[in-house]
Amino acid sequence: MEEYYLGWIEQVEKSLSRWGEPSLIITPRVIAVTGMGGSGCVGDYIATLAGLKHGYRYPVIVVKNYRLPSYIGGNDLVFVISYSGNTLETRHIYREALERGVETVVITSNGFLEEDAAGRGIPYIKVTPGIAPRTALLEMMLAALNVLDSSNLTIVSKEDVIKLKNFLKETMRDAYNLAVEIAEKIYRNSKNLVIATHSPLEVIAIRGKNEFNENSKIPVKIDVTPEWAHNDIVGWEKPLTTDWQVLAVKDPDDTRGMKLLEFMETIYRDKGFPIIEIELKGSNMLEKLVYGSLVIGLASVKLARLRGIDPLKTTSITRYKEAVKEILGEP
């Protein structure tokens, strides 16, 4: 499983090799990025990057559900992302998007969505099949960013992606070593995990939670300041258990973020919770988000190894995917 994360450099290279296609002629009112789990997380990254891009005119919304918001219609752009191509919630979204006549782009490696999009002539990007969906994050995210750049709706340019490739080559070894260190600390502490961070890094916390859930098989709480300081902070006054440890993710270039996080850490320290820190590397937000996600992804795999657990297996998701067929029915 580690090799899938170490393969992110190849995922970037593959994305670059097809950059420029497909290209759409559209000025969308809203861009909706849809999908579930490891595929759904792509939307969180794109929405974060769009929100930070100066002068970007297109609102990006993330839909992790089986229904499109009512306001999505003919003038909008919808990315339908499912690694397997078969996730039922995402197939419902796809059907709704087609029914409403929304410009739709599919990103998948296989399954129903690949076949149906190909059959209908709907633009789609086929990503490398045969790996765990969550580890294909970079290829799926860059597929969507490629379509946007190729359609004059640029959030991330080809040059940024070339820089990302070089950045990953330089930092991969470091990221791996840091991940091993973090996993060992989490394992030794053997307490419930909180991932704490400051805005606009919530996507790293969300993705990190999912990674520790799926790879290490543990529940995780997320604390993101400054919103944290308006609710969670009170919850920490009298928790039912004090058995917590904190993984704090920070951007050293964000002065206010660092100060907000420092305050947060004083509360955890007062409680006696051990704190493990990740300082993000990178010269822009894309690199920082990818770096943080890589370190946490690898750390979650290493924690599984330390616990003698198979990081790849997600038995409960398979169980749910059987059950949901009854609940949602065929789209």
Provide the binding-site residues for ligand F6R, judged by CB under 6 A: 35-39, 82-84, 87, 90, 132-134, 214, 314, 317
Say if residue 219 is exposed, middle or buried (CB neighbours under 10 Å; 0-12, 13-18, 19+): exposed
Q: Which of 14, 185, 221, 321 is catalytic?
A: 321
Q: Closer CB to ligand F6R, residue 48 or residue 90?
A: 90
Q: Closer CB to ligand F6R, residue 83 or residue 244?
A: 83
Residue 214 among the catalytic residues: yes
Q: Which of 96, 202, 214, 287 is catalytic?
A: 214
Q: Closer CB to ligand F6R, residue 50 or residue 88?
A: 88
Please, what is the minimum distance in Å from the beta carbon of residue 88 to ligand F6R? 9
Q: Closer CB to ligand F6R, residue 42 or residue 264?
A: 42
Please, what is the minimum distance in Å from the beta carbon of residue 139 to ligand F6R? 12
Residue 230 among the catalytic residues: yes
Please, what is the minimum distance in Å from the beta carbon of residue 52 to ligand F6R? 25
Please, what is the minimum distance in Å from the beta carbon of residue 327 to ligand F6R? 15
Closest residue to ligand F6R in the complex (CB): 37
Tokens linked to 232? 């969670």
Q: Closer CB to ligand F6R, residue 38 or residue 200?
A: 38
Cis upstream peptide for 69 (omega within 30°): no
Please, what is the minimum distance in Å from the beta carbon of residue 218 to ligand F6R? 15
Q: Which of 3, 159, 230, 326 is catalytic?
A: 230
Catalytic residues: 214, 230, 321
